[in-house]
A and B are shown apart, each in its own frame.
Chain A
């Protein structure tokens, strides 16, 4: 075994919030030169543990050791000074400032009068060493999500952190960006950094972790050394044995033959792209009732624009859009929604929720006149209908009074999905519907989409998760650079071929 003293060790951490025990007797050790994955469902206690390590939260009991010495972090400032850094899910970056300025802002030893060029040189140096190449003089507003994360990591490295905590870093990344992140992990590891990788994605854990700790209901459920873990072992440790039996067999083709009537049709639909948007180029697409059409593509291939075009947020510059056999090219969003279009957007907090309004008020938004009662809103009927929708999804019903903006990402996503699916939609347009959800919620969302399909809805599923698309889609389309470059019926695609189409390394294929 490795005789080296761990860089950071937590022993017997317990943290309770009222009656809820978030962490109970948790032990964890992080060694230099290792990627340590912390795996668990939403609410398993991963976030609490990372907050304790980073000094956000004081534990009720338990101790922290830095290179064998006991330490206490009253606030993140002390944790940072001790060399602990955290990459948050929500980036702490200022869009209007340059990369170098953003990083300089977080340097503890920045002189009163500083030279940005010197900071930029350091950024380039670290960037080349760890595969984190970003232009220091670029304005952060212009960067893609993957680059933003690089800036966050560079911030920690220039601040001399040695223990790096990543809180679900791949949630915002496209598959190829995630792969690049794992290469960065490897480079950091080689130079002796300790990495704590918090996630609930099994595949990623197996791809990059040296050691794995699994948490369930606030406790450490078990751990694996290098090469010991398998998918089955991890799943049974995360959920217990009984849950496995309930999962649907992804291989079983349960879809009934789709009807021939298209719910939605695009004929040569185009839309110009301005700024960071992708132009859509002559899309021909038809979604029949009782069919799930999956759309694969790397991020920024026009997914958001396609969703917006269908809902009517974005006008057509050429071509036409047909909804249930009627020309809907110039329909308003309200008319599309009244026609029964459910929409789960890419960024629900921005596009599907009003953060300052209560969950209850958010539930009634976008439901048209359905809950109108003279000049008032029939809240009781709304709550009954939405409660039913939550139960159908096996989602816990959230409290309805707090503002929507106070919900965690996963809960917010569940509220939006429950609202959109509440009224037997004719057409569902779902962008990354399971992003940020734990395995259990992911399963119920997929089940519900299948049931909606079996009930005669047409479904457009836009996702970056190829496994999800393979499991769900009756037809798979590939989007690249705003154009549809591939069209495969169920079971006729190979992952490799789809991958090539997604990255543009192969020409158009229609299977």
Chain B
């Protein structure tokens, strides 16, 4: 593999890995609190479409980013109302949320299809820009979300494993009964986790439309939400491992794009499948170890303690 191809793949991995990482971090927090949100794909779409629309209307990408985060948060609170307050089935509610996201994002984004926007500003430190090997690529020319991706993973890890709040969230995900007995309110903690997760999901979606593609198209997320759910499993519910996972999957996508651009002999349809095939492989490989790492109460409904 040539150096330019490798650098290209790396640069692409970082760019498309950013939104995967934010989505994975969000879902990790949610799953640590014992909820499975299969509607992540819908959250990403809502984030992408709201972010793009607000930017197109106001001309300010920062406003778009904020609106996307708020919209993701709201959508996740809706999910919380269903599964925590109304105790609805999590899998069915998640799938419903995904389709809800398809519809809402299409509705919100429809007037702005084809609009030209100024996306999130990018910035490259001058001394790095002066290097010749960097100049040929997009390496180190990043927007704020990409620059903050790894700090965000560290922050989520710190919150989950070093704070009282994180201990409470993890306790709810393992045993809501024990968390309740310790004087905590499991429902409140799950709503807090959903808010944080929705916020990160909204940012992930916005990064797609406001930085990566600078367009809005229906169903532009193309399964990234589900890849992120697989990444949560791949990273064993650990935000730091998620960084490696997001790079790997971002890399798979970047590699197939690079190969397609270079006119590879492999069918483009096969190449398009690479990230999804990788997802299947990860689930296969991690199948046995999964049980030990997953929060014990994941996907179960807490009916209160008697």
Q: Which of B1-9, B53-61, B177-185, B225-233 forms contacts with chain A?
A: B177-185
Q: For the complex, is A17 an interface residue (Cβ under 8 Å from B)? A: no
Q: For the complex, is B165 an interface residue (Cβ under 8 Å from A)? A: yes
> For residue A415, which residues in chain B have a CB less than 8 angstroms away from its CB?
none
- The reply to whether B167 and A104 contact each other, CB–CB distance below 8 Å, is yes
Complex: A94 Cα to B170 Cα, angstroms: 10
Q: Which of B163, B179, B182 has the most CB of A within 10 A?
A: B182
Partner of B164, one of A94, A95, A112: A112
- The reply to whether B163 and A94 contact each other, CB–CB distance below 8 Å, is no
Contact with A along B150-180 (1 / 0, CB 8 A): 0000000000001111011011001101110
- The reply to whether A77 and B183 contact each other, CB–CB distance below 8 Å, is yes
- The reply to whether B164 and A97 contact each other, CB–CB distance below 8 Å, is no
Within residues 165 to 224 of chain B, which ones have a CB less than 8 A from any CB in chain A? 165, 167-168, 170-171, 174-175, 177-179, 181-183
Q: For the complex, is B259 an interface residue (Cβ under 8 Å from A)? A: no
Q: For the complex, is A96 an interface residue (Cβ under 8 Å from B)? A: yes
- The reply to whether B167 and A113 contact each other, CB–CB distance below 8 Å, is no
Q: For the complex, is B91 an interface residue (Cβ under 8 Å from A)? A: no
Partner of A93, one of B164, B165, B168, B178: B178
> For residue A96, which residues in chain B have a CB less than 8 angstroms away from its CB?
174, 295-296
Q: A92-B178, A96-B295 are in contact. Are A105 and B163 (CB under 8 A)?
A: no
Complex: A93 Cα to B163 Cα, angstroms: 19
Complex: A97 Cα to B167 Cα, angstroms: 9
Closest CB-CB distance, A474 to chain B, in whole Å? 44
- The reply to whether A92 and B174 contact each other, CB–CB distance below 8 Å, is no
Q: A97-B170, A105-B171 are in contact. Are A92 and B165 (CB under 8 A)?
A: no
Complex: A213 Cα to B179 Cα, angstroms: 34
Complex: A16 Cα to B20 Cα, angstroms: 59
Partner of B181, one of A92, A101, A111: A92
Complex: A94 Cα to B179 Cα, angstroms: 9
- The reply to whether B178 and A105 contact each other, CB–CB distance below 8 Å, is yes
Contact with B along A50-85 (1 / 0, CB 8 A): 000000000000000000000000001100100000
Tally A residues with Cβ within 8 Å of B: 19
Q: Summarize B's interface: helix, strand, loop or mixed.
A: helix
Count how many pairs of residues, one from A and one from B, have CB atoms less than 8 Å apart in the complex: 46
Q: A77-B183, A105-B179, A106-B182 are in contact. Are A94 and B171 (CB under 8 A)?
A: yes
> For residue B170, which residues in chain A have a CB less than 8 angstroms away from its CB?
97, 101
- The reply to whether A94 and B175 contact each other, CB–CB distance below 8 Å, is yes
- The reply to whether B183 and A108 contact each other, CB–CB distance below 8 Å, is yes
Q: Summarize A's interface: helix, strand, loop or mixed.
A: loop
Partner of B167, one of A76, A80, A101, A108: A101
Q: A104-B167, A112-B164, A113-B163 are in contact. Are A95 and B181 (CB under 8 A)?
A: no
- The reply to whether A113 and B178 contact each other, CB–CB distance below 8 Å, is no
Closest CB-CB distance, B133 to chain A, in whole Å? 42
> For residue A97, which residues in chain B have a CB less than 8 angstroms away from its CB?
170-171, 174
> For residue B177, which residues in chain A have a CB less than 8 angstroms away from its CB?
92
- The reply to whether B174 and A113 contact each other, CB–CB distance below 8 Å, is no
Closest CB-CB distance, A159 to chain B, in whole Å? 10
Contact with A along B116-150 (1 / 0, CB 8 A): 00000000000000000000000000000000000
Complex: A92 Cα to B176 Cα, angstroms: 11
> For residue B178, which residues in chain A have a CB less than 8 angstroms away from its CB?
92-94, 105
Complex: A97 Cα to B171 Cα, angstroms: 8
Residue of B nearest to A115 (CB): B162
Closest CB-CB distance, A342 to chain B, in whole Å? 33
Complex: A112 Cα to B165 Cα, angstroms: 7
Residue of A nearest to B162 (CB): A113
Closest CB-CB distance, A82 to chain B, in whole Å? 14
- The reply to whether B164 and A114 contact each other, CB–CB distance below 8 Å, is yes
Partner of A112, one of B163, B174, B175: B163
Contact with B along A102-128 (1 / 0, CB 8 A): 001110101111100000000000000
> For residue B183, which residues in chain A have a CB less than 8 angstroms away from its CB?
77, 80, 108
Residue of A nearest to B296 (CB): A96
Closest CB-CB distance, A407 to chain B, in whole Å? 14
Complex: A30 Cα to B162 Cα, angstroms: 39
Closest CB-CB distance, A191 to chain B, in whole Å? 25
Residue of B nearest to A110 (CB): B164
> For residue A77, which residues in chain B have a CB less than 8 angstroms away from its CB?
183
Closest CB-CB distance, B80 to chain A, in whole Å? 22
Closest CB-CB distance, B236 to chain A, in whole Å? 12
> For residue A94, which residues in chain B have a CB less than 8 angstroms away from its CB?
171, 174-175, 178, 296
Q: A92-B181, A105-B171 are in contact. Are A111 and B296 (CB under 8 A)?
A: no
> For residue A101, which residues in chain B have a CB less than 8 angstroms away from its CB?
167, 170
Residue of A nearest to B293 (CB): A96
- The reply to whether B182 and A105 contact each other, CB–CB distance below 8 Å, is yes
Residue of A nearest to B175 (CB): A94
Residue of A nearest to B163 (CB): A113
> For residue B174, which residues in chain A have a CB less than 8 angstroms away from its CB?
94-97
Closest CB-CB distance, B268 to chain A, in whole Å? 44
27 chain-A/chain-B pairs, Cβ below 8 angstroms: A80-B183, A92-B177, A92-B178, A92-B182, A94-B171, A94-B175, A94-B296, A95-B174, A95-B296, A96-B174, A96-B296, A97-B171, A101-B167, A104-B167, A105-B167, A105-B168, A105-B171, A105-B178, A105-B182, A108-B183, A111-B164, A112-B164, A113-B162, A113-B164, A114-B162, A114-B163, A114-B167
Contacts A94-B175, A94-B178, A94-B296 supplied; 14 other A-B pairs, CB < 8 Å: A92-B178, A94-B171, A96-B295, A97-B170, A105-B167, A105-B168, A106-B181, A106-B182, A110-B167, A111-B164, A112-B164, A112-B165, A113-B164, A114-B167
Closest 5 CB pairs of A and B: A94-B174, A106-B182, A92-B178, A105-B182, A94-B175
